[in-house]
Amino acid sequence: MAWSICPGGLEVRVRVTPRGGRDAIDGVETLSDGRPVLKVRVRAVLEDGAANEGVRRLLAKALKRPASAVRLETGATARLKTFVISGEGEKLSAALAALTGRTDP
């Protein structure tokens, strides 16, 4: 799965498309190496961390968490990133599964 429960929240692996025309979570995609990622697009460009901030705010809004509860863990300059969302991992996982239409944990 593109996310996993971790101590204190949820770890989400994301593939970002900057300048995507809209801010949206487009579901789960499997990379060529078999790793699943959450596919996200944001309107923001790749300047001064704007795309990272766009993803952070999008995840926070989608999961009904404050933006301060979402932090970028790895991949600041890469398309593939890992975000950690603070909160109750089980509930966050269920909410993300509902958003993406996935039933597997």
The pLDDT tens digits for 35-80 are 999 999 999 988 889 999 999 999 999 999 999 999 999 999 999 9
Residue 92 has pLDDT above 70, yes or no: yes
The domain locations on the chain are: 3-99
- Residue 99 DSSP symbol: H
Q: Which pLDDT belongs to residue 105? A: 47
Fold adopted by 3-99:
Conserved Hypothetical Protein Mth637; Chain: A; (3.30.1200)
**Higher model confidence: residue 46 or residue 89?**
89
Work out the pLDDT band at 101, boundaries 50, 70, 90: confident
**Cα angle 15, 38, 34; round to 5:** 80
Question: Side chain identity at 50, as an amino acid letter?
Answer: A
